[in-house]
Amino acid sequence: MPLIKICVFSGTSEGRELSEFLSEMKIETLVSVATDYGKEVMDEMPHVTVRTGRLEEKEMENLIRDYDLCVDATHPYAVNVTENIRSAAASTGVRYIRLMREDTSTDEEKYYRVFDSIREAAEFLKTCDGNIFVSTGSKELSEYSIIPGYRDRLTVRVLPVKESERKLRDLGIRNCIFKKGPFSYDDNIRDLKNSGAGYLVTKNSGNAGGFKEKADAAEALGVRLIVIRRPDEINVDKTYNMEEVKEEILEIINEH
């Protein structure tokens, strides 16, 4: 059995895939997820322990200091979380790897509009008529409240968790879809048709996050696609894809 321990901060399907690989390799692994939903999507696996709850930087330091490697597999848009994980690893001297899904932002000219933030997109949509389908998660839903008539004009698709339900209730948004992804092309066609939306707002979450299926459905229906650009990775020298992370782990095993 490899005598190393790895801590994975997970918030994506890549985090789950990596955990399955580590389990098969019989590597003692701690997977840290922020929400109960994050724990739900993690199957029980030998050698893998899952902890739930958001952590501050100092708490991350205490968590990872006894591990040989820290892998950050959080969402590409969780910039502050990534910065805290990176800083915690630097403070404790634990090796840090940023696992990133593919970036599909090379086709920006195909989209109706591209913005750097949800706030910018909402400012633009404030001047537009018609219904809007929102698929950007629940964290920044309040930004859309500047849109005239947003309670009736928005259709919001979010995870079926209490935090999302509370935010939508507090904002008074009436058209809500509580579903777990990933969503197929047909799923998106159906939801967009039912919403009567002229605009779709989505993050560029890569093909693993179902971006292509949303973009293709919007194009087929003539819905204007508004994309929130993926933020730059701050203070991260290099990012790794899944195969590169696995190769790094095998090298660490050989070193031990």
Percentage of the chain with pLDDT > 70? 95
DSSP state, residue 44: -
pLDDT for position 162 = 87
Residue 208: pLDDT above 70? Answer: no
Same domain, 172 and 114: yes
- Predicted confidence at residue 3, as pLDDT, reads 78
Q: Are residues 109 and 219 in the same domain?
A: yes
Q: What is the CATH number of the domain that holds 25?
A: 3.40.50.720
**This prediction's pTM:** 0.79
Judge if 133 and 221 occupy the same domain: yes
Is 193 or 163 the better-scoring residue by pLDDT? 193
Asked if residue 131 and residue 82 are part of one domain, the reply reads no
Q: Do 124 and 223 sit in the same domain of this protein? A: yes
Instruction: Give tens-digit pLDDT for 100-143.
Output: 877 655 567 789 999 999 999 999 999 999 999 999 988 899 99
CB-based contacts of 5: which residues, under 8 Å, 6+ apart?
27, 28, 29, 30, 66, 67, 68, 69
| Structural domain containing residue 166 | 105-228
Task: For residues 219 and 148, state if they share a domain.
Answer: yes
What CATH number has the domain bearing residue 205?
3.40.50.1980
pLDDT above 70 for 167: yes
Query: Are 142 and 50 part of one and the same domain?
Result: no
What is the predicted pLDDT for the residue at 101? 75
Report the residue count for the chain.
Answer: 256
pLDDT of amino acid 182:
82
Which range among 40-49, 79-88, 132-141, 214-223 shows the weakest confidence by mean pLDDT?
40-49
In three-state secondary structure terms, 222 is coil
User: What pLDDT is stored for residue 103 in this prediction?
Assistant: 66
Instruction: Determine the pLDDT at residue 97.
Output: 95
**In this predicted model, what pLDDT tens digit does every residue of 10-67 receive, in sequence order?**
977 888 899 999 999 999 999 999 887 777 778 889 999 999 999 999 999 999 999 9
What is the average pLDDT value for the chain, to the nearest integer? 91
Residues 88 and 131 in one domain: no
73 vs 236, more confident: 73
- In whole angstroms, give the CA distance from residue 22 to residue 144: 40
Pair 214, 127 in one domain = yes
Cα 22 to Cα 24: distance, rounded to the nearest angstrom = 5
Tell me the HSE value of 64 on the side-chain side, using a 13 A CA sphere.
31
Overall number of domains in the chain: 2
